[in-house]
Amino acid sequence: ASAPSSRVAVDSCANYGEVTATTQYAGGVAGYASVYAKACANYGKVTAVTNYAGGIIGDALLPSGVSYSFNKGEVTAEKAYAAGIVALNVAHNNATPFVIDSCYNAGTVSVTSTSGSLGGVAGNMLAGTRISRCYNVSDVSTNGSYVGGVVSRLVSNATVFSTITDCYNEGAVTGTMHVGGIVGNATVTGSDSTYVARCYNLGTITSTNEKNGFAGGIGGTLKAFVEDCYNVGDVTGAGKNVGGIAGYNGSQSKAMYRCFNVGNVTGALTDVGGIAGAGRFLIYDCYNFGTVTGTDNVGGILAQPYTGQAESYAATVADSYNAGKIVSEGSNVSTVAAAYPGSRKFYTVVNAYADTTVNALTAYDLASEFGKPIGKSTREMFDQDGISSEFELQTACYPSLKVFADNPYNNFFVASVLLGDGDTFENVTKPISIGALEGVEWTVSDNLSISDGKVYAKVAGPATITKTTGKFTRTYNVVVAEPTGVSEVTTSKAIAARYYYSVNGVRFAEKPSNAGVYIMQTVYTDGTTSASKVLVK
């Protein structure tokens, strides 16, 4: 944030001392001020006896901003709103926004009151706030509400908008209600005047309120236009309104584009969804791979629309799919989009798919009057020629959003295995295709080999194919009925060595002279291998 010449600027300053405000507004650099802070750091202990403690600024007046700054200290407000960078700001405007750019929190932030609100980077942010390229790596936990890995609460109005872009959270986030990996509560009084884009969460999200939890991987309550966001952390709510991306949206319809969730989503009550728990969302081009668990009103994408009596309160799920397990014994349970009777007006489900190898279509799905999910087996999911152009189709892969082509978490979950026609995992007779995507490492048991995106069997019997990305790993167990061979595959790569095996796995030092069928393994100079059957007469 560049400072106008007539304003106060603080550049390249650091605090190592202990700062205490006997009432409110404590900051490592500024407590209550109109100030532009750049390249500042806090290592000290910052405490507000009542409200608003920030590692850099307690309360930012108009105009203010913070950039390229960080907190590694202990920040505490005994009542409400503590944050690693800024606890509170006054409302700014579109011409002079309040900008927090390229900042991070690696310190401890806490509130001691049961009503306290907490944000890893920012606390209570009013209209005209722009938060970009910020992140939090510390756990954020309180017994209060409005808890976010990056920002506690973000407000917009009909004329002044607020945004969160290119931010992420790695810490565990825990609170009673309105708990999110990026924002606890994003609220708005104007249409689409809050914007959340290109954000992701890796931490676990937990809301402890046993009635209304409002927990989401990106936002607990997310009344915002959302695009290109994803969640990896598990999301758990002791109550209802729990979602992989958003827990709840109670305002007019808000659009969500190109988002995915791979974390498990668990609610102790109702309204639990792989993408969104409850609310008037317009969901396009999204998918879920996480297990979704709840008592009732459970959906692989959206659980409860809460549609109103006007089209401005509509809900839609389109060009989206669910490949996550659904766990519920309720009656309003859908592989894609659920709703209890009486809340289905202006609710549309179109071109939405469910992997029926993972979940059979439910009785609710089959009876749905607002749009039935399209059930397809895992194999059929790999060839979704009817899905939108936002997706890319690749061999042995679920449809993958193009915007996440280089994302390792996305690639791990969309990459899969594709058996030959007529084969099953218990009876493999043909080469197996694998989803050879960036960031996904494939390994096989000793009786298999990998070459050019295919797995070949050298020896009959049980075998394993494993994919790994970071902490994620999945093993596919197969039984090879007969060696598959690669005699039909040709290559121009330079050969380093060749080895021969009997069908029982016995290795020979040179090509066998006795008549029979053998497996020839070829090792190339680039480190890859291939295998083929050879007949010695």
By CB atoms closer than 10 A (0-12, 13-18, 19+), residue 35 is buried
Q: In this prediction, what percent of the chain has a pLDDT beyond 90?
A: 76
Cα three-residue angle 23-172-165, rounded to 5 degrees? 80
Q: In the prediction, which pLDDT does 75 show?
A: 98
Q: In the prediction, which pLDDT does 320 show?
A: 97
3-state secondary structure (DSSP) of residue 208: coil
Per-residue pLDDT band for 535 (boundaries 50, 70, 90) equals low
Q: What is the spatial distance between Cα 404 and Cα 305, in angstroms, rounded to a whole number?
A: 27
Asked if residue 150 lies in contact with residue 164, where contact means CB atoms within 8 angstroms, the answer is yes
Asked if residue 235 lies in contact with residue 244, where contact means CB atoms within 8 angstroms, the answer is yes
> Which one is predicted more confidently, 498 or 375?
375
Residue 508 has pLDDT above 60, yes or no: yes
Q: In the prediction, which pLDDT does 184 show?
A: 98
Residue 193, amino acid: S
Asked if residue 65 lies in contact with residue 98, where contact means CB atoms within 8 angstroms, the answer is yes
Mean pLDDT throughout 416-440? 95
Could you check whether the bond before residue 4 is cis, i.e. omega within 30 degrees of 0?
A: no
Point out the least confidently predicted range of 28-42, 180-194, 241-255, 283-297.
Answer: 180-194
Residue 120 has pLDDT above 80, yes or no: yes
Q: What is the spatial distance between Cα 383 and Cα 425, in angstroms, rounded to a whole number?
A: 20
Mean pLDDT throughout 310-322? 88
Closest to 484 (Cα-Cα) out of 508, 503, 511: 503
| Radius of gyration of the chain measured on its C-alpha atoms | 27
Per-residue pLDDT band for 537 (boundaries 50, 70, 90) equals low
Mean pLDDT throughout 87-115? 95
Residue 140 has pLDDT above 80, yes or no: yes
Q: Which residues contact 320 (CB under 8 A, 6 or more apart)?
A: 275, 283, 284, 285, 286, 287, 301, 336, 351, 352, 353
CB-based burial, 283-304: b 16+ in 10 Å, e otherwise: bbbbbbbbbbbbbbbbbbbbbb
Q: What is the spatial distance between Cα 491 and Cα 487, in angstroms, rounded to a whole number?
A: 11
Report the chain's mean pLDDT, rounded to a whole number: 91
Max CA-CA distance within the chain?
94
452-475: pLDDT as tens digits? 899 999 999 999 999 999 999 999
Q: What is the spatial distance between Cα 89 and Cα 64, in angstroms, rounded to a whole number?
A: 8
> Which one is predicted more confidently, 342 or 85?
85
Q: What is the spatial distance between Cα 247 and Cα 303, in angstroms, rounded to a whole number?
A: 10
The residue ranges of DSSP E strands in 274-325, in sequence order, are 276-284, 287-288, 292-293, 296-299, 302-304, 315-322
Q: In the prediction, which pLDDT does 488 show?
A: 41
Closest to 184 (Cα-Cα) out of 153, 209, 138: 153
DSSP H or E stretch at residue 379: helix 378-381
367-406: pLDDT as tens digits? 887 788 999 999 999 987 778 999 999 999 999 999 999 9
Residue 4 has pLDDT above 50, yes or no: no
Give the sign of the dihedral formed by CA 401, CA 405, CA 410, CA 415. positive
Mean pLDDT throughout 120-133? 98
Q: What is the spatial distance between Cα 148 and Cα 171, in angstroms, rounded to a whole number?
A: 10
Closest to 417 (Cα-Cα) out of 404, 402, 436: 436
CA distances from 331 to 273, 367, 373, 392 (A): 15, 11, 16, 35
3-state secondary structure (DSSP) of residue 189: coil
- Chain-centroid distance, C-alpha 479: 34
DSSP H or E stretch at residue 305: none
Q: In the prediction, which pLDDT does 5 show?
A: 45
- The conformation of residue 378, written as its DSSP 8-state character, comes to H
Q: What is the spatial distance between Cα 181 and Cα 148, in angstroms, rounded to a whole number?
A: 6
Residue 307 has pLDDT above 80, yes or no: no
Residue 313 has pLDDT above 80, yes or no: no
Residue 309 has pLDDT above 70, yes or no: no
N residues, the chain: 537
Residue 78 has pLDDT above 80, yes or no: yes
Place of tokens 């040179």: 510
Q: In the prediction, which pLDDT does 484 show?
A: 78
Q: β-pairing, 183-188 with 219-222? A: parallel
Place of tokens 């994803």: 230
Q: What is the spatial distance between Cα 16 and Cα 14, in angstroms, rounded to a whole number?
A: 7
239-276: pLDDT as tens digits? 999 999 999 987 777 899 999 999 999 999 999 999 99
Mean pLDDT throughout 194-222? 96
Q: β-pairing, 205-207 with 472-480? A: unpaired
DSSP conformation letters of 407-459? -HHHHHHHB-EEPPTT-BTTBB-S-EEE---TT-EEEE-TTEEEETTEEEESS
Q: What is the spatial distance between Cα 113 and Cα 504, in angstroms, rounded to a whole number?
A: 69
Q: In the prediction, which pLDDT does 489 show?
A: 43
CB-based burial, 198-211: b 16+ in 10 Å, e otherwise: bbbbbbbbbbbbee
Point out the least confidently predicted range of 120-124, 201-205, 222-226.
Answer: 222-226
Q: In the prediction, which pLDDT does 368 show?
A: 83
**Token couple for 132:** 């970009």
Mean pLDDT throughout 418-446? 95
Mean pLDDT throughout 305-331? 88
